[in-house]
Amino acid sequence: MFTRQYVQKYVDERRDMTINKNVTRRDVAIKAGVSVSAVSRAINNSGYVEKEKKNRIIQIANEMGYIPNPVAMALQQKKTYQLLFFCNDLTGGYFNQMYHGMAREAKKRGYHVLASLNINDFSLVKKTLVDGILFQSESVAQDYAETIGRNYHVPTVAASFQPACVYAKPMPSVIIDNNKIVNAMIDYLMEKGHRKIGMALPFNDGYARDRFKYWRQRMMAEIGDECLNYILDVNDECRHPKERIHSDLQDYYCESDGFVYYDLAETGRKAATMYVESYQKSTAVICFDDDMAVGMVAELIKLGIRVPEDLSVMGIDGVYTRNRHEPKLTTMGIFPDRQGAKCAEILINMIEGKKYKYINYSPYGILEGETVKALN
């Protein structure tokens, strides 16, 4: 049986908890014997409050269990310390790593990054309290700039894969230059003695189309029409260009135990089969990205083709997942986390009124593994 003292103590504790939940700045001001504005300046660390008085206000606020309302603070300060990232999917390695780069850089500066996995629903911007917006690519940024972005004025930054892109409204971007990276890969393979350099592509859209264009320009200059024999065109869209019915990811989703995820490894496996069945074979293949390259390497080995002894394979991205596969993939690192971090850095500089550049190039470089053989 509970004693009277125990019951009274319990009632008092519950009463105190209830009171603490409703503590306002006015309550703190009355307790501290100061004005409400002084409490606001002390808690927000904005405006002058004598040091001793400020410390006393904060101590009393803590003792009373004062919890500031985040929405009210955001409206008062005109700042939420939140950024919104429009991304199609985060199960693929590249944009997952890009998001982590954004989030970590933002955290250093006291911000958080929210992710929207619906790049077509820009109305979300009007429903979410954020200080700025990040876009996964120039195409998403352009769609925004041409629609809601025309009349909704909030700082924006785009990760971009096309240096020549011009937006409907000025927007800083952090650019991966596909022309330079494709040519750097071909240079690397030629230094290893390869001349018959092919390319494997899952589709002919977006920056896959750009990578194919730059590969074709360079290889036509190197070996002429012979290079066309070394195209591994999984969806038959490069040899016979056609208008894509859709540009989303629905053709590349897989399912595992009920979880749906984005994966281009299957297109790599199809490219491996095409290579085995081809009459004229290259000595090296550049894949559209790391996921495709990993799938291609696995299927080649399954079909009896040795990598890199019989065929050298390279990816593009340099995502962390390449460390999980054997042989370890040789790839062109374009460091998605650094690209994301730079985007967040620029956006926060815009929000805080600091200097920034509109055109920013992201770093790239060969990450050597075990899937390229030196012929010479």
Identify which of 301, 312, 319 has the alpha carbon closest to the alpha carbon of residue 264: 319
Confidence of residue 57 (pLDDT cuts 50, 70, 90): confident
More confident: 215 or 71: 215
Burial 276-306 (b: 16+ CB within 10 A, else e): eeeeeebbbbbbbbbbbbbbbbbbbeeeebe
More confident: 78 or 255: 255
Confidence of residue 240 (pLDDT cuts 50, 70, 90): low
Give the whole-angstrom CA distance, residue 330 versus residue 208.
19
Give the whole-angstrom CA distance, residue 370 versus residue 307.
8
Give the whole-angstrom CA distance, residue 358 versus residue 269.
40
Give the whole-angstrom CA distance, residue 222 versus residue 69.
65
**Cα 157 to the chain's mean position, in Å?**
12
More confident: 302 or 1: 302
Residue 24, Cβ neighbours under 10 Å: how many? 14
Cα distances (angstroms) measured from residue 113 to each of 74, 110, 140 = 16, 10, 17
Mean pLDDT for the chain overall? 86
pLDDT digits (tens, 9 = 90+) for 7-43: 455 445 545 544 445 788 888 888 888 888 888 777 7
Check residue 317 and give its pLDDT.
95
Confidence of residue 275 (pLDDT cuts 50, 70, 90): very high
pLDDT digits (tens, 9 = 90+) for 189-209: 999 999 999 999 998 878 889
For every residue of 283-345, DSSP letters joined together read SEEEESSHHHHHHHHHHHHHTT--TTTT-EEEEEE--GGGGGSSSPPEEEE--HHHHHHHHHH
**Cα 18 to the chain's mean position, in Å?**
43
Q: Is the pLDDT of residue 142 over 80?
A: yes
Confidence of residue 268 (pLDDT cuts 50, 70, 90): very high
What predicted TM-score, i.e. pTM, was given to this entire model? 0.78
Tell me the H-state helices in the chain. 4-21, 25-32, 36-44, 51-64, 70-77, 93-108, 124-127, 138-146, 178-191, 206-223, 265-277, 290-302, 336-351
Check residue 1 and give its pLDDT.
44
Check residue 180 and give its pLDDT.
96
pLDDT digits (tens, 9 = 90+) for 117-126: 887 788 888 7
pLDDT digits (tens, 9 = 90+) for 12-21: 554 554 444 5
Confidence of residue 45 (pLDDT cuts 50, 70, 90): low
Q: What is the mean pLDDT of residues 142-166?
A: 89
Give the whole-angstrom CA distance, residue 293 versus residue 272.
9
For 286, phi then psi, to 5°, come to: -95, 120
Q: Is the pLDDT of residue 282 over 70?
A: yes
Q: Is the pLDDT of residue 169 over 50?
A: yes
Check residue 25 and give its pLDDT.
80
